[in-house]
């Protein structure tokens, strides 16, 4: 018996086998979960996702355009037809037009801002609304965020503003859905090489920064992110909601470069 034996859920946002959503899915599957998946519309994205999830025996693999309310409703209708009800939903969706993401936030276009907020933030609200209808006995919703929504991270730009809005959304959704026994949390992971991360400027430098500054003097790995994500969706976290859980070797706790500064000062004296 695993933690998720008999539990059914939906994962939105697996892009390939490097995705954080897939790292979490693997941990869920290992604990007995029955998972359905969505992918971006288009044959190319379907093939990419099916290559990863078909070997798991997934009963549901379907496209989802989160900018269309009717498409989100259709996905959850399909999920209820297959699973009856859901116990958990993992939301791993974010997007900003590349031309806006590459600019300092002050130069982001109005249309780019609206698109980024719609896909990266409002999608959680519409997904949570339909997920709640599919969780008559309560459940758990989890999204993925990043420290760039709390503090300025060079190169994160427009997406940092979106993550700040996403973090606030998690708390309000936790309040709204608490009476239905539905928990809503976010996982904030340190730098992980993913398709999405490759679009962020200076992302290659972040892993080294975390190794130098974090209390544990290293960066996280996918296994750790997967385990933490699985935990937040499990009954082990039954008393946790409205939380932004950091999995970053303590980097978020630092108010200075810490030992990295000491190392730099020592090197300067040589």
Nearest-10 Cα torsion for 128, 133, 136, 141: -10
Q: Choose the catalytic residue: 37, 83, 147, 156.
A: 156
Question: For residue 139, what is the enclosing H or E element?
Answer: strand 139-145
Of 92, 102, 93, nearest to 200 (Cα)?
102
Write down the pTM of the prediction: 0.93
What is the layout of strands, in order, in the sheet containing 8-12?
A: 61-63, 34-39, 8-12, 88-91, 139-145, 182-189, 244-247
Domain boundaries, the chain: 8-200+219-255
Quote the pLDDT of residue 268: 72
In this prediction, the residues of the chain whose per-residue pLDDT falls under 50 are none
Quote the pLDDT of residue 193: 66
- Confirm if 195 and 18 have CB atoms less than 8 A apart: yes
How many angstroms separate the CA atoms of 73 and 244, rounded? 27
Quote the pLDDT of residue 1: 86
Q: Choose the catalytic residue: 146, 147, 210, 251.
A: 146
Of 242, 172, 195, nearest to 95 (Cα)?
195
How would you classify the pairing of strands 61-63 and 88-91? unpaired
Quote the pLDDT of residue 222: 93
pLDDT digits (tens, 9 = 90+) for 126-150: 999 999 999 999 999 999 999 999 9
Quote the pLDDT of residue 207: 83
- Confirm if 173 and 184 have CB atoms less than 8 A apart: yes
Quote the pLDDT of residue 197: 52
Quote the pLDDT of residue 224: 97
How many angstroms separate the CA atoms of 193 and 58, rounded? 25
| Alpha carbon separation from 181 to 138, 175, 176, 178, 253 (Å, rounded) | 4, 10, 10, 5, 31
Q: How far is CA 234 from the centre of its chain?
A: 16
Q: Helix, strand, coil proportions of the chain in percent (round to 5)?
A: 50, 15, 35
Residue whose pair of structure tokens reads 């939105």 in the numeric block: 12
Q: Can 210 be counted among the known catalytic residues?
A: no
Q: Can 146 be counted among the known catalytic residues?
A: yes
Neighbours of 146 (CB within 10 A): 28
Quote the pLDDT of residue 258: 87
How many angstroms separate the CA atoms of 112 and 4, rounded? 39
CATH label, 8-200+219-255, candidates 3.40.120.10, 3.40.47.10, 3.40.50.720, 3.30.450.40: 3.40.50.720
Question: What sign for the dihedral angle of Cα 191, 196, 200, 202?
Answer: positive
Quote the pLDDT of residue 194: 56
């Amino acid at each position: 018996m695993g933690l998720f034996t008999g539990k059914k859920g939906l994962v939105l946002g697996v892009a390939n086998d490097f995705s954080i959503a897939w790292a979490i899915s693997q941990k869920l599957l290992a604990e007995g979960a029955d998972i359905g998946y969505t992918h971006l519309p288009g044959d190319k994205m379907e093939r990419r996702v099916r290559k990863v999830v078909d070997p798991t025996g997934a009963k549901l693999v379907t496209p989802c355009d989160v900018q269309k309310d009717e498409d989100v409703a259709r996905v959850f209708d399909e999920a209820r037809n297959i699973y009856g009800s859901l116990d958990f939903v993992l939301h791993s969706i974010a997007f900003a037009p590349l031309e806006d993401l590459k600019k300092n936030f002050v130069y982001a276009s109005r249309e780019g801002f609206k698109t980024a907020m719609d896909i990266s933030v409002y999608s959680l609200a519409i997904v949570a609304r339909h997920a709640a209808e599919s969780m008559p006995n309560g459940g758990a919703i989890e999204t993925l965020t990043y420290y760039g929504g709390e503090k300025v991270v060079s190169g994160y730009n427009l997406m940092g503003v979106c993550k700040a809005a996403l973090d606030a959304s998690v708390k309000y959704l936790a309040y709204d859905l608490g009476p239905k026994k539905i928990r809503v949390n976010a996982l904030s992971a340190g730098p992980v090489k993913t398709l999405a991360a490759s679009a962020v400027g200076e992302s290659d430098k972040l892993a080294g920064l975390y190794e130098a500054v974090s209390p544990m003097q290293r960066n996280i790995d996918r296994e750790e992110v997967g385990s933490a994500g699985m935990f937040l969706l499990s009954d082990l976290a039954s008393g946790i909601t409205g939380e932004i859980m950091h999995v970053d070797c303590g980097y978020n706790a630092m108010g200075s470069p810490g030992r990295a500064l000491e190392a730099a000062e020592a090197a300067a004296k040589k």
